[in-house]
Each structure stands twice: as C-alpha cells, then as structure tokens.
Amino acid sequence: MRISHVIRGDDHLSNTPKQALLYDALGVPRPKFAHISMILGTDKARLSKRHGATSTLAYRDMGYLPGALINYLARLGWSHGDQELFTIKEMIEHFTLENVTTSSAVFNPEKLLWVNEQWIQKMPPLELAAHLEPILRQEKVLPEGHGRTMADIARVIPALNQRAKTLIDMAHGAEFYFKSVFIDVPLTHIGFTGHSPKVTAGEALLEYDEKAVRKFLIPEVKPLFEKLIIRLEPMSEQLKPVELENLFKKITEEEDIKLGKLAQPVRVALTGKTASPGIYDVMEILGNKITVDRLKIAINHIKAKTS
C-alpha cells in the first residue's frame, strides 16, 4: 500500500512488534511507526462523548471555526515554544514529531473556547462571513434563500467579533441587523410625516425583551425620541459615529440628563435588548432610515401601551 508512516495513539503500541514481524515475513519495508499520547478528559479518563461533543461537525454547529479546532488539537500534546495560536500554514511549517509530548494531553473545553474566540477576533470579516452565514441560517436569524451577500454579512462583524466566543454568540448578537423591524401594535399611532415603517409578511421579526421595555420604553423617553428623530431625518443615510456622538451629547445637554437616559432607551428601541454593540456602531450599521423607523415604532409602542 506504500504507506511510509504510521502515526497513532499509544494504545496501539503493543500491536507494533507483531505488525513489524508481518512486514518482515512478507518481505516488504517496514513503515516508520510513531505513537502519540492519548487525549484524556478533565477527569483524566479516556476521552468519550460524556466529555463533550466528539464530532467535528458537532463543533461546527456549536459555532467553532475549523481553523480554531485544528489549532487547538495540534497544540494539544505538541508545542512550538510558547506560541498558542497558529495559522494552518504555521502548523505545517513548524510541526515535528520530536516536539510531541510523551505524557497524555487533557482536553480542556475552556481552552478550546478561548482559541476559538481569538480566531474570531483575528479573522478578516469577509472570510469570517463565509463561516457565519450557515450559522445565521441554523439559528433562524436569516431564512433559507435570504439573498444576503458575504459583504453584507461582513458589515456587522467588526461590531461583534471582539465580544463573541463562538459564531452562535455572534449570530444572536447580529439579530438586530438581520431581522426585520419588530412590531406588535398597529402603526396608526405614529404621528410623524414622511416614510412609514413597513413589514413584509413572512419576515423574521426582532422582538422586544419585555423587561427592557418596562424599564426603558416609558412615556418619559417619548419626547427624547421625537427630538432625536427630527435631527436624524435630515442627516445622510450613512450615519457616522462621531456625528452621532455629538448629536447625543447635544441632546443630553439640552435636556440636562446623563447619556444613559437617552442611549439605553435608544438601544432597546433599535435592538430589542439592553446589551448590544456600542449604540453609535448599531446606528451606523442600521443606517439612518432603519434607525428612524425603529424609533418611530418604539414611540408607537409607548403610545399604545399608555393609551
């Protein structure tokens, strides 16, 4: 079969003498045998399903990047100085059997999660988008046949990749961008001229977190939203964080309130949650029209709940 090297777990070490004799008896050259230490669970028992997912496809569906999993497994029981993170090219260049440890390695899920987090942070957005897209579909953030381009998906990544440990985290963090405007009351309460928010039948809707609504979408924020909308509407579609920061600062000074009294209600209005990327980043990603639409819907929600 022209196999030159046999590299396997050290639980096969006892088989090697017999197999070597078989090669000799058949008159063919022996391959080179190398036995590497077994991977153990955190309880030092042989790795099994009870220690976690054992399929590479399972890790894919859990939001782990292929390169991160390979990086972790290569580093498990092998070293190249103190370096922890390796590209595929670097692993190929540096890997040698001489640097494989003789003691059993312990599979640490927390360390794998850290490696995955580092890969997410360092991978270029357009490249990461190709891995994120199937997870967005898996998590029902995007429907099948959604029509979004990789460039469109990559647009939201810089706002999320510094806080996501898995692609699952990133997918759920991106719901505010990929899901349509949320609405649970008639739009007739909106008292603004100009374009009105529209929802297409069948679209996935972003829902309000009820605790966030009770705390932040209250009558007191309605005039703040109205003032913000009036000043946003003349601005360009492509909002800039610096301009938004100045706008928020001006409104809070005029109203003599702290930034959180405006920024947090706006965050809930735009994302449905109290936690998200920076509010100026959110507004930049959504663009002016969607930002204004969602603020109008929030006002509509407040009116409907208090009428």
Percent of the chain's residues with pLDDT above 70: 90
Instruction: Give the C-alpha separation, 185 to 303, whole Å.
Output: 10
CB 217 within 8 A of CB 268: yes
Predicted local distance difference test score (pLDDT) of residue 187? 46
Q: What is the mean pLDDT of the chain?
A: 88
In this prediction, residue 181 has a pLDDT band, given cuts at 50, 70 and 90, of low
Its pTM stands at: 0.81
Give the architecture-level CATH label for domain 52-122.
Orthogonal Bundle (1.10)
Per-residue pLDDT reduced to its tens digit, 1-29: 889 999 998 889 999 999 999 999 999 99
In this prediction, residue 206 has a pLDDT band, given cuts at 50, 70 and 90, of confident
What does the buried/exposed string (b/e) look like for 259-280 if buried means 16 or more CB atoms within 10 Å of the residue's CB?
eeebebbbbbbbbbbeebbebb
In this prediction, residue 182 has a pLDDT band, given cuts at 50, 70 and 90, of low
What does the buried/exposed string (b/e) look like for 289-307 if buried means 16 or more CB atoms within 10 Å of the residue's CB?
ebbbbbbbbbbbbbbeeee
Q: What share of the chain is helix, strand, coil (3-state, %, to 5)?
A: 55, 5, 40
Per-residue pLDDT reduced to its tens digit, 243-269: 999 999 999 999 999 999 999 999 999
Domain 187-306 CATH assignment equals 1.10.10.350: yes
How many Cβ atoms sit within 10 Å of the Cβ of residue 185?
14
How many Cβ atoms sit within 10 Å of the Cβ of residue 18?
8
CB 269 within 8 A of CB 154: no
Token pair for residue 167?
């692609």
Examine the pLDDT at 185 and tell me if it is beyond 80: no
In this prediction, residue 171 has a pLDDT band, given cuts at 50, 70 and 90, of very high
In this prediction, residue 53 has a pLDDT band, given cuts at 50, 70 and 90, of low
In order of 123, 178, 196, the CA distances from 271 in angstroms are 25, 11, 19
